[in-house]
Every structure is written in C-alpha cells, then in structure tokens.
Copies of this chain bind each other. A is one copy, B any other.
Amino acid sequence: MESNSVSPMPELAPIAEFDKTPPTPPEDTIPMDDLPPPPTVVTVANNSVEQEAETHRHYEEENEWGCGSWLEYTMVVVLASVLLLGSLALTLFWVIYYHNGFAWREDLSKQFNLHPVLMVAGFITFSGFSILLYRICRCCRRIYVKLLHTVFHALSIPCVAIGFMAVLDTHNLKRPEAIPNFYSLHSWIGLVTMGLFAIQFVVGFFSFLVLLCCEGATSAFRAALVPIHASFGLTTFMLAIAACVTGLTEKVIFTLGENYEKFSEQSIIVNTLGIVFIALGILVSYAVRIPNLRGDSMVYMDDRM
C-alpha cells in the first residue's frame, strides 16, 4: 500500500486567493478584510515531512492561483451569466408573448405577470450575479466585491417586494371572490425564501459592512460568520429555484389544464425555463464551491465569501 501511495494531487496548488502583494496596499486605518491574517493558506499535504518544503512553493504559486486561474472558470462563469440573463429574458418572453404583458390594477391577470418576471429578476438574476461576483471579480479588492454584492442584493429587494405585492393584489382583488393567499406549496417555499433572504440581507449588511467601523474588535466574529452567510446564501438561491419550478408548474397547469399534455409551444417554453433554472442551481453552486479544475480532490468554500 505504501509503495503504491501515488499522490492524487501531484500539483499542490494553494487554495486561498489572497494576494500576498495586492495591487493597492490596504489602508492601515480601515482594513477591509473579514479574514484578518493575510495570507491565509490552505495547504493539502500528503504527509507531514513534505509539508514544510512544499509551503514555499505554495507561496510562489499563490499569485498565479490568485489571479491567473480564474481563466479556468471562464466557461462556467460565462455559461452561468448567459443562463442568468437568459432565464429573465425567457420569462419576459413567456409572459409578454403568451400572457399579454403587464398592467397595474387595471387588469389583474396582467398585474399577475409582474410576479414571475420580478421574482426571477430579484431571486435569480440579481441574486445569482451577486453570488457569481465572488468568482467574476477574483482580482478586485474585497471591499469592492462586497459593495457590489450588496448593491446587487439591494436591487433584488424592490423586485421581490413589487413582485410579492403583485401576486397579493391579484389574489385579494379577484372578483367575485378573493383567492386565498399561501395555500400552495409554491407559496410556502416562496415565503421561506423571502424570509431567509431578508435575514441574510440584514445580517450580512450589518455584519460585513456596518461592523467594519470597529474592524479590529469584530474581525473574529465576522470571520466566523462568513461560512454561515455563504451556506445560507446558497440555500436561499436553491430555495428560490424550488419556488420557481413549483410556480411554473402551477401556472402552466392553471393556464393550460389538460392541454399541458399536448406539447404546445407554451408548455415547451415553460419546461425549458424550468430546466434553465435547474441548470442555474447546478452551475452557481459549482462555480461558488468547487475549485478543483486543476485536479485537487478537495472542495471548499472560497475564503473570500
């Protein structure tokens, strides 16, 4: 066994993305990082004897890993970006072409159309790009990535809020009888998603931006919060996808009924949209978590999250 112990990871690349020599030196007064001791190096060593000798090589390779290897993600990031925009475009097309576009209060069925479009914009497109930023902006300073992350999530809020009001209105103003709210599995999943999103936004904003005002005292707390925030963030995105596919199923059956089984144009469009959401769930979680394109057998949560 020992003689056969060929390393599965012959090229041990350091996984932390910190630059030892960042392009712009950090201000001494207001450091921006959540994980305070740069450089944090995550090393995969096959035995303890090799460990020290290899450390230096890791440091040398660090710059390459930090900025160079993002090229390896190009395909995943480009595909995810195309699907994030494509899902919104396809939702818009579905709603405008098959459901006559938008209105507010004048026509309840057209007002309802705001719901899928705005929810997809908020929970999928903006949130998806917000998560992907940590892959796209691998060479930017972290404070800029954090601010962009916040801005994208902040843009989601009006989308989700108006999208939510649109469906509530559609239900409550329906005549001769109002439609009850929160009766379906879709609405239950959506409610949990919105709650988790709100908690994540408030906790994230407070912890990773506001608490920077007393950076030294809060660094350990913020560092401990990073993986929790990242895990719940990805969970929220997955919940949003579950809400999307159940919502699409609901809407297409309520609209087409028995005709759903006739492979109409609309049903193909809706199913394709659903598969795009599923693909996005796989791609975004892959892009965020798995840096093993270079052959590491390790999966980790990026410490810049």
- Residue numbers of A with Cβ under 8 A of B are 1, 4-9, 26, 28, 31, 33, 35-48, 51-52, 55-56, 59, 179-180, 183-186, 188-189, 192, 215-216, 219-220, 223-224, 226-227, 230-231, 235, 238-239, 241-242, 245-246, 248-250, 252-254, 260-263, 267, 270-271, 274-275, 278, 281-282, 286, 289-290, 292, 295-301, 303
Contacts and interface: CB of A to CB of B under 8 A. Distances in A.
B303 A301 contact: no
B295 A303 contact: no
Q: For the complex formed by this chain, how many copies does it contain in all?
A: 2
A42 B48 CA distance: 10
A-B residue pairs, 8 tightest by C-beta:
A8-B223, A299-B301, A5-B37, A4-B216, A185-B274, A1-B31, A5-B36, A37-B46
Nearest to A26: B1
Contact of A242 (B43, B242, B286): B242
16 contacts: A8-B36, A39-B47, A41-B45, A41-B47, A48-B56, A48-B59, A52-B52, A192-B275, A224-B297, A231-B290, A238-B282, A241-B242, A246-B249, A249-B253, A253-B254, A300-B300
Most buried by B among A37, A41, A220, A231: A37
Nearest to A295: B224
A271 to B, nearest CB: 5
A43 B40 contact: no
Nearest to A30: B1
Nearest to A298: B300
Most buried by B among A1, A270, A290, A298: A1
Contacts of A252: 185
A290 B180 contact: no
A271 B36 contact: no
Contacts of A253: 249-250, 253-254
A26 to B, nearest CB: 6
B245 A184 contact: no
